C-alpha cells in the first residue's frame, strides 16, 4: 500500500488536478453529478454548460478526449436502452424519417444520454487523476463508513495475490487436460472458483487475526494516510466546478 497502487484508469501526470487532495476531488465530482441530475431535461443549454466544464477540467488535467471518450463506452448498455425508449414509449408520437417515435420516449432517451454521459465523464476524470489508494484515503477523510473503506483497502492490497493464485490454478487445470471452453467441463471451473473463494476466506481470517494480535483496532494508522488533509484554499479551488454547476442548475430550474 505504501507504493500507492495505480489502477488501469489512472493517468500519471503533474497537473493541478492531480495535485489536489483526493477528498476535495471526490466531493467536487459528487456535487457536480447531483447538479446535473437535478437539471430539468428540457434545459438543453444547461447540459452544454456542463459539457464545457468537463472539457475545461479534462484540459487542466491533461486527459485527452480520445482517452476519455474511449473509456466512456462503459455506458454503452444504457445508451442502447435509451435508443429503445422512443420506439417503445407511450403517449404522443411524432414521425421522424418515416419512423413513429414517442415524444416522452425521446425526452427520456435524451435525459439518460445527457446525464449519464456527463456522470460517466466526471467519474473518469476522477479516476484518471487519483490513484486507488488516494481514493480510499479521500473516502476515509470524508468520514465514509469504516467498514466500507477497510473492505476496499484489503481488496486493493490482496487483489493481485488472488489474481495470481487464480492464474496458477488455471495453469494446473490446463496441465491436467482441462479446457473450460467446453460446456461439459464447466463443473471443474466452478469447483475451482469455489476453492479460490475458500482460500481467500481462510487467508483473510489469518491476516485479520495477525493484524489484531499486532494492535489493529479497525482503523488504519494516520501515517498510512500520507499527507495532511486539504486546506481551505484547496477546498475553494475544487468547489469552483460544482459551484458553477449548481448555479447553472438553479437557473435552469427557474427558467424551465
Residue-wise pLDDT for 35-65, tens only, equals 999 999 889 999 999 999 999 999 999 998 8
- The span from the CA of 96 to the CA of 193, in Å, is 50
Q: Is the pTM of this model over 0.85?
A: no
Residue-wise pLDDT for 227-238, tens only, equals 567 888 999 999
User: Average pLDDT, stretch 132-146?
Assistant: 84
Residue-wise pLDDT for 24-35, tens only, equals 999 999 999 999
Asked if 118 and 248 count as a contact pair (C-beta separation under 8 A), the reply is no
Q: How confident is the model at residue 4, as a pLDDT? A: 45
Residue-wise pLDDT for 163-208, tens only, equals 888 888 878 777 777 666 666 666 767 777 788 888 888 887 888 8
Reduced 3-state DSSP string for 202-233: HHHHHHHHHHHHCCCCCCCCHHHHCCCCCCHH
User: Average pLDDT, stretch 156-164?
Assistant: 78
How many helices, marked H, and strands, marked E, lie in the chain? 11, 2
- The span from the CA of 79 to the CA of 113, in Å, is 6
Q: How confident is the model at residue 123, as a pLDDT? A: 94
Amino acid at each position: 500500500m505504501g507504493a500507492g497502487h495505480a489502477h488501469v484508469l489512472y493517468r500519471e501526470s503533474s497537473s493541478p488536478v492531480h495535485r489536489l487532495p483526493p477528498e476535495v476531488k471526490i466531493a467536487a465530482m459528487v456535487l457536480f453529478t447531483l447538479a446535473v441530475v437535478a437539471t430539468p431535461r428540457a434545459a438543453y443549454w444547461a447540459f452544454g454548460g456542463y459539457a464545457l466544464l468537463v472539457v475545461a477540467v479534462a484540459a487542466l488535467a491533461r486527459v485527452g478526449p480520445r482517452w476519455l471518450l474511449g473509456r466512456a463506452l462503459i455506458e454503452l448498455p444504457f445508451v442502447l436502452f435509451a435508443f429503445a425508449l422512443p420506439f417503445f414509449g407511450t403517449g404522443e408520437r411524432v414521425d421522424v424519417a418515416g419512423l413513429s417515435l414517442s415524444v416522452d420516449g425521446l425526452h427520456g432517451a435524451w435525459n439518460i444520454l445527457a446525464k449519464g454521459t456527463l456522470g460517466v465523464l466526471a467519474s473518469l476524470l476522477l479516476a484518471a487523476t487519483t490513484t486507488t489508494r488516494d481514493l480510499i484515503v479521500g473516502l476515509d477523510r470524508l468520514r465514509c463508513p469504516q467498514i466500507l473503506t477497510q473492505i476496499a483497502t484489503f481488496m486493493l492490497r490482496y487483489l493481485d495475490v488472488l489474481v495470481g493464485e487464480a492464474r496458477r490454478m488455471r495453469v494446473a487445470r490446463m496441465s491436467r487436460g482441462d479446457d473450460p471452453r467446453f460446456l461439459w467441463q464447466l463443473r471443474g471451473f466452478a469447483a475451482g472458483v469455489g476453492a479460490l473463494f475458500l482460500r481467500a476466506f481462510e487467508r483473510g481470517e489469518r491476516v485479520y487475526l495477525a493484524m489484531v494480535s499486532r494492535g489493529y483496532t479497525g482503523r488504519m494508522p494516520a501515517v498510512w494516510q500520507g499527507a495532511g488533509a486539504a486546506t481551505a484554499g484547496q477546498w475553494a479551488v475544487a468547489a469552483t466546478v460544482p459551484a458553477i454547476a449548481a448555479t447553472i442548475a438553479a437557473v435552469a430550474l427557474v427558467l424551465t
